[in-house]
Chain A
């Protein structure tokens, strides 16, 4: 069965069309959760709004459980799924730079496009910045080429690094995530602000 494109059930062009539909779903869910609001996203780092944490980890858990159950039922071949390769130094270095961008800009790339679609001008500025940043990366590529390719580890899974099965790893992450949600809800009360309303169901 899945993935449909790797098993040649659908053609590459159909795949692109479905990418567009998947994107609509992605954008719709992001916006409905308020990921189009930079104050909401930044609230994560000051504790007054931890929606990012909740949505992000709930989605990751749902994804993990979904993939494992689908694999169990034989609906998807996990060996055909793309697993991003780990280049340890650039993963850390890139992550740190992105962290700086996050706290300054208040968006990440996906959410900035989503916010721009409902008219947020700061998101538009952020998108302009992303283009400049990517251009800077590609133009000055020789500068960081070595760093970019250093410490290549293949595509290891966290579970295999820790010597656990995927299922046990998932259960552990679920428990950790639920603990973080509890802390997050506590923080929302502790760091609540007069000038900011959560405004969610």
Chain B
């Protein structure tokens, strides 16, 4: 049984990169913009705060300046598509499974805490840097934007610099 359920191999990374680049080009050609991810979260947060605490949203600076962000935004629809696309690929390759993925020498609990803390950092940083790895770094690099290269270098540079200190999590 278990042999049959072995997940399929991943795609060749260079082929995958070309395909990802083609998706990016289609996005540019159709909508004049690249891919993104964290912007969808921002739209949900802004819309959520405006619904839950409208009074508060009227008084805090950020929500006033971004009141035009609504759930009906390009990135929200794109991210819904990502969930569907990821699920389809996982289903075809037999990788659908509830699990906590972690390094071999770390407990599941610590892994989940580290993931949450990492998410907080990434959420904060993506807003400060006006985009995450997809929106700012990948898309920015494809259009040769200076900001894209700067953000990419900062993300990967920092992660490399800190890799030694976080090795317990992964090695």
Instruction: Determine whether A and B are in direct contact in the complex, meaning some CB atoms lie less than 8 angstroms apart.
Output: yes
Whether A129 contacts B19 by the Cβ 8 Å rule is: no
Residue picked from A4, A61, A102, A106, most chain B C-beta under 10 Å: A102
Q: How far is the CA of A33 from the CA of B34 in the complex (A)?
A: 19
B interface residue count range (under 10 / 10 to 19 / 20 to 34 / 35 or more) = 35 or more
A128 vs B131: C-alpha distance in the bound complex, in angstroms? 18
| A183 CB–B CB distance under 8 Å | no
Complexed CA–CA distance, A56 and B148 (Å): 13
B155 touching A98, Cβ below 8 Å: yes
Contact (Cβ within 8 A) B143 A201: no
What are the residues of chain B within 8 A of A24 when measuring CB–CB? 81-82, 84-85, 88
B151 touches A126 (CB 8 A): no
Q: Are A59 and B20 in contact (CB under 8 A)?
A: yes
Within 8 Å CB of A161, what residues of B? Answer: 146
**Total count of chain A residues near the partner, CB < 8 A:** 134
Please name all residues of chain B whose beta carbon is closer than 8 Å to the beta carbon of A119 when the two chains form the complex: 90, 96-99
For residues 65 through 100 of chain B, which have their beta carbon under 8 Å from a beta carbon of chain A?
A: 66, 72, 74-75, 77-90, 93, 95-100
* A174 within 8 A of partner (CB): no
B160: chain A residues at CB < 8 Å are: 45
CA distance A127 to B142 in the complex (A): 26
Shortest B25–chain A CB gap in Å is 4
CB distance from B21 to the nearest CB of A (A): 2
Are A84 and B136 in touch, CB under 8 angstroms? yes
A22 touches B61 (CB 8 A): no
A74 within 8 A of B: no
- Chain B residues with CB under 8 Å of A26's CB are 20, 23, 35, 78, 81-82, 85, 134
Query: Which residues of chain A are within 8 angstroms of B163 by Cβ–Cβ distance?
Result: 45-46, 103
* Interface residue B1 (Cβ < 8 Å from any Cβ of A): no
Asked if A29 meets B45 with Cβ closer than 8 Å, knowing A91-B150, A130-B119, the reply is no
Q: In the complex, A60 Cα to B31 Cα: how many Å?
A: 18
Is B102 a contact partner of A122 (Cβ separation < 8 A)? yes
Interface contact B149-A18, CB-CB below 8 Å? no
A62 and B126 alpha carbons, distance in the complex (Å): 24
Q: Is B54 an interface residue (CB 8 A)?
A: no
Choose from B80, B101, B145 the contact partner of A23 (Cβ within 8 Å): B80
Is A131 a contact partner of B74 (Cβ separation < 8 A)? no
Chain B nearest CB: distance from A12 CB in Å?
A: 9
A residues in contact (CB < 8 Å) with B:
1-6, 10, 15-34, 36-39, 42-46, 51, 54-64, 66-67, 70, 75-76, 80-88, 90-123, 125-139, 141-142, 144-145, 147-148, 153, 155-159, 161, 166, 169-170, 173, 181, 193, 195, 199-201
Known: A34-B11, A81-B143, A91-B130. 17 other contacts (CB 8 A): A2-B29, A22-B81, A23-B77, A42-B103, A62-B21, A64-B142, A66-B28, A84-B131, A94-B126, A99-B161, A101-B119, A105-B116, A119-B98, A122-B112, A125-B116, A129-B115, A136-B120
Please list 18 pairs of residues, one from A and one from B, whose beta carbons are closer than 8 Å in the complex, sorted by A's number: A1-B29, A3-B31, A4-B31, A56-B138, A57-B17, A63-B141, A64-B143, A75-B29, A82-B33, A86-B146, A91-B150, A93-B129, A98-B121, A106-B118, A115-B86, A118-B90, A125-B115, A125-B119
